[in-house]
Amino acid sequence: MTNLPEPSVPKKPSHKKGCLKVFLILVILLAVGLHFAVPVIVTSVANSQLPQQLHTDSSLGGAKVNLLTGSFGLHELSISQPEGFEEGELLRMGSMSVSAPIIKAVRQNPVLVRRVHLDGLDLHLISNEEQVLNVTRIGPQAPEEEEIAKTEPAAPPPVWIKEIFLENLNLVFHDLAQEWKIELSDMRFEVHNLQVEYDAGKGPGRIMGIVGFHSPKASGQLRLHGKIGTIFPSKPEQVPTLQLAVGLIGFDLDLVSPFLKPSPVVAKTAFGGSGFDFTVFMQISPGESAESQAIAGSFQLETDGGHIISNSLGGTLAEPVLPFVGLFGDIMGNQLGRVTQLGENIARGGVEAGMAVASTPTLVT
């Protein structure tokens, strides 16, 4: 008996596969269209709305949006000085990018931000003769007598930022009332593992920073390294645990000459020099309130006149003992509070340290 061919199995309809292919093609086309269309829309809206909202000339060079990778970026942002201040720019930003996967940001707790990168920022702050800061004149101005209704801020979501990288930052602050100007350049900051309202179980966050400053006599630099615990904006009375090391090297008092009291010569004499190096190590312990968070550490200040002052830090956040704040306050008077926004009674022991330095007969011009 001859072998007969096996009967062929009829093929199933391929309508489902065809629909799936069409759907995938449409999704890809939509993603490609959004990839190119969204940046154009964002740039156009920004350039039309920024000047109206900020009440000064503003422009955005462009934007980048990638919905698939969850990345967003802006470049060439410019904001002019507001009316009543000198010509020029208040702010110019080179580029900024944020990487935050959308799926993880929506579905996961906390919101995960992989990386924030800012490359290039020039900021020119001006305080006029009436001590009005230029940034306060950006945007709509509410009538002075109008009371703003106080509302409770919404609870922030848990956020875990793996990396923040800020580089090529420059700041100019011009105080017209005191005829004083300072320029900070080559600033760079890095933050890793920053946790807000969330404990990632990866240990504390890390902070690193470099700030350069210049005077006719010397160029100096500030460096800082630190570790910071979880930040809880919902509990403003609870300061995060902190370990901080700061070095201020090559600072010249001529940089703050208009603020020296009662005069630059007397202040430098009391200080024991015109320039100084300053280092401080400080730790803030955990606690539920300012009264329970202890401060520990030490500082050393060495002037170019050969004087060395060192002391320990102590107290609590409610009643801190930070002698160096009083030491600087003694030669800058209430101007220290105006510049740093620190209260007059934030430190204990600064007057005694200042008096010890003032006993030197060295005269610095």
Q: Could you tell me the residue ranges of all domains in the chain?
A: 235-365
Higher pLDDT, 31 or 47: 47
- Put simply, whether the predicted model's pTM sits higher than 0.85 gets the answer no
**Helix, strand or coil, per DSSP, at residue 51:** helix
CA 36 vs. chain centroid, Å, equals 31
pLDDT class of 215 with cuts at 50, 70, 90: confident
Which pLDDT tens digit goes with each residue over 159-190? 999 999 999 999 999 999 888 888 999 999 99
Which pLDDT tens digit goes with each residue over 100-134? 887 655 556 788 899 999 999 999 999 988 888 99
**Helix, strand or coil, per DSSP, at residue 325:** helix
Decide if pLDDT at 16 tops 70: no
Decide if pLDDT at 318 tops 60: yes
Distance from C-alpha of 13 to C-alpha of 94, rounded to nearest angstrom: 56
What single letter denotes the amino acid at residue 150?
K
pLDDT class of 27 with cuts at 50, 70, 90: low
Q: What's the mean per-residue pLDDT of the chain?
A: 80
Decide if pLDDT at 196 tops 80: yes
Backbone φ and ψ of 116, nearest 5°: -120, 125
Mean per-residue pLDDT for 320-346? Answer: 63
Distance from C-alpha of 68 to C-alpha of 72, rounded to nearest angstrom: 11
pLDDT at 139: 81
Mean per-residue pLDDT for 29-43? Answer: 63
Asked whether the CA dihedral 99, 101, 102, 105 is positive or negative, the reply is: negative
Judge if the upstream peptide bond of residue 110 is cis by omega within 30 degrees of 0.
Answer: yes
Mean per-residue pLDDT for 140-166? Answer: 73
Mean per-residue pLDDT for 331-358? Answer: 43
pLDDT at 357: 37
Which pLDDT tens digit goes with each residue over 243-296? 999 999 999 988 888 888 888 888 888 888 888 999 999 999 998 888 999 999
pLDDT at 53: 87
